[in-house]
Structure 1
Amino acid sequence: MSLMDIGNGELWYEEFGSGDEVVLSSAMGFAAGTYPELLAAPPTGYHVYTIQARGFGQSDHPASPPAIGWLDQWADDVCAFADRLGVDRFIYTGISHGGGIGWHIARRHPERLKALISVVGTPHDRAGGTQSSEGRRRFIEERHDRAKTVAMFEHMAGWTDDSARQEARARRFASSAEEAANRPDDEAQINQGKPFPEAQTDEELAEVYRGIRLPVLIFAALRDGVISPQSALRAAVNVRGAKAVLFEDEGHMMGEESPERLAREVRVFVDELNGVAEPPMRS
């Protein structure tokens, strides 16, 4: 774990692996041992950097929200981080709000991306306005009520009848609710809003997607309580050449709950980009 000086602030990051394929990911924080850290392990073996977003943890804490907006600022920060590494092009992957960061990189700095891999992170439906999701507003307002916070985590995760997963969630959500209640106010009140807030309607959002011209892999969880299946499909049918993988039995927490499933699909996608994928079976 280290701090990277990017010129107008410092970003806390961790480095995993040493492969030739450079993968960057940014978020408020990362759970140890899960996606995208897993991408550094065999058989993918990528060189992975996880970057704590400005405003959180040991990264720089601005005195006021960035004038350009949080998502654009975080997107620019990732590119500045890559500059310090001396990396011109990289694969970006992000989960949820981290996926939103990737979509903003794709719009602001497409030349920097070899590919975007979005995990339950396609921009929200435009229902309810464009500045913020209702879930994020409620989370900020009710974070000191442990029971309500746990209930929100359960809704985000989506239903499951797997008893082992239910038990693991109960433990994790109780711990996460305690962490949320104790988070410093300056962090807890950050509301990055929905990606691409200038798109007022779902059709305007589709038009933003049509302007993105780079390889995109979309992971969607059909039991997701945050990002709707329609959101994922909207991106998939409007980004030229996009690939979408839909998991019926996963929810918004799949980055923590099923990182191996994600890593397998990422390897196939990256091998295809690099022209080393195995040819399809023929009868």
Structure 2
Amino acid sequence: MEANKIKGESKSIVLSNGVELTYCERGETHTEIMVCGAFYFHTAMPLVEKLAERYHVYGIVMRFDGEASEKNADGTIHWGRQWGKDIYDFVQSMGIKRFHYFGKCHGTVPGWYFVKEHPEMLLSFSSFFLAPHVRPQNSNHWFELLSGNDTTEMMRVAMKKPEGLKAKMEEMAAIGDNASNPAIPQYAASPEKLWESKEKCEKALKTLSVPIGYLFGSEDPLFDDYLDSNLFAIRNTKGAHTVILEGERHLMELDEPDRVVREVFSFIDGI
């Protein structure tokens, strides 16, 4: 059980395939459900708590090990699809039929899995700080920062408020070194890999039926790393709602959780 990846009360469930998933549950008095996937819920918990003021929120930890049914042709695990399949199995086990999905960065990948495989289950999808990448990458600043040795510099670029650094460092100490896992760069920033080709992903963006909300920060290095793809998604995702917040960086859920949640609610209210 990966309880250390959740700050506060956590639960677990054993799926029919024997895999154990750790999750948090907030806002149980609400009837409308929102599902969130993430590698961990520490500095993101204020955001979860604010979402739970309006929704019954399930925050599910995306795993890196255990039994896997989603494989590549060479037999290796397709973690992008596996994260989506895990959450599908979770909502099935819970008897959840339809829900809103919220994902931030890597947490968007299961949402895109549902867009592709089970769109009828999604009431809406808040795909924040990340869109599928169907155009060539512009730069690699974000992952260079992640793989570097200067954690303080990476955090400075990632957040506006210096006081957030202490909380982020405490989070990293609690969860361990996720950045060394090859699933991080290979699948976490690449929801387009859920499709057989970028061309098929592009076609899906232009024809999808799920309400999609995009949010980006103007000073997020990951936004610039995939600038051409992000602009393409903004302009070509059918019916998309898009907001670019001036001055916000990649960890805006830590800097400005209220601002992020306001954009979630604004998007859903406008559907």
TM-score range (shorter-chain normalised) is: 0.7 to 0.9
Q: Are the aligned partners of 1:94 and 1:118 in contact in 2 as well (CA < 8 Å)?
A: yes
Specify the alignment match of 1:62 in structure 2. 66
Q: 1:170–1:13: structure 2 CA closer, same or farther, 3 Å change rule?
A: closer
Larger C-alpha radius of gyration, 1 or 2?
A: 1
Partner of residue 262 from structure 1, selected from 250, 256, 260: 260
- Taking the aligned partners of 1:154 and 1:16, their CA distance within structure 2 comes to 31
Q: Which amino acid aligns with 1:171?
A: K
Aligned to 1:212: 208
Tell me which residue corresponds to 1:183: 177
Look up the match of 1:38: 50
Q: Does 1:47 align with 2:41?
A: no
Q: Aligned residue for 1:127?
A: 136
Q: 1:211: how far off? A: 3.3
Q: Is the 8 A contact 1:116 1:216 kept in 2?
A: yes
| Counterpart in the other structure of 2:3 | none
- Relative to 1, partners in 2 of residues 1:81 and 1:269: Cα closer, same or farther, differing over 3 Å? same
Q: Which residue of structure 1 lines up, in the alignment, with residue 24 of structure 2?
A: 14
Q: Does 1:86 align with 2:82?
A: no
Q: Which runs of 5+ in 2 are unaligned?
A: 1-9, 73-77
Provide the C-alpha distance between the structure 2 equivalents of 1:63 and 1:81, rounded to a whole number of angstroms.
15
Shift of 1:171: 2.3
Which of 19, 25, 40 is the matching residue for 1:29?
Answer: 40
Give the distance between the partners of 2:223 and 2:134, measured in 1 at CA. 8
> Residues 135 and 220 of structure 1: is their aligned pair in 2 closer, same or farther, counting only changes over 3 Å?
closer
Q: Tell me the residue number matched to 1:150.
A: 152
The residue matched to 1:3 in structure 2 has which SS?
strand
2-side partners of 1:272 and 1:115: how far apart?
A: 11
**Residues 213, 64 of structure 1: CA spacing in aligned structure 2 closer, same or farther, 3 A cutoff?**
closer
Q: Is the 8 A contact 1:213 1:239 kept in 2?
A: no
CA RMSD of aligned residues (A): 3.0
Q: 1:214 aligns to what SS in structure 2?
A: coil
Distance across 2 between alignment mates of 1:171 and 1:252: 16
% identity of equivalent residues: 26
TM-score using structure 2 length: 0.78
Q: Distance in 2 between matches of 1:14 and 1:173?
A: 19
1:84–1:199: structure 2 CA closer, same or farther, 3 Å change rule?
closer
Q: State how far apart, in whole Å, the 2-side matches of 1:50 and 1:173 are.
A: 19
CA contact (8 A) 1:25 1:51 kept: yes
CA–CA separation in structure 1 for the residues paired with 2:205 and 2:168? 34
The aligned counterpart of 2:4 is none
Bigger helix share: 2
Contact 2:83 2:109 in 1 (8 A): no
Normalised to the residue count of structure 1, the TM-score between the two structures is: 0.75
Deviations 1:148-196 (A, max 9, x none): x333333344xx4xxxx1x21432454456557x4379x7343342221
Give the whole-Å Cα distance in 2 for the aligned partners of 1:104 and 1:218.
Answer: 16
Matched, 1:168 2:163: yes
Structure 1 stretches of 5 or more lacking a match? 56-60, 274-283
8 Å contact from structure 1 (residues 4, 12) kept in 2: yes
Contact 1:25 1:93 in 2 (8 A): yes
- Asked if 2 retains the 8 angstrom alpha-carbon contact of 1:98 and 1:121, the reply is no
> Secondary structure of the residue that 1:226 maps to in structure 2?
helix
What CA deviation, in whole Å up to 9, does each residue of 1:37-93 have, x standing for no partner?
A: 32012xxx21000000122xxxxx327895151111111111111111111111000
What residue is the counterpart of 1:279 in the other structure?
none
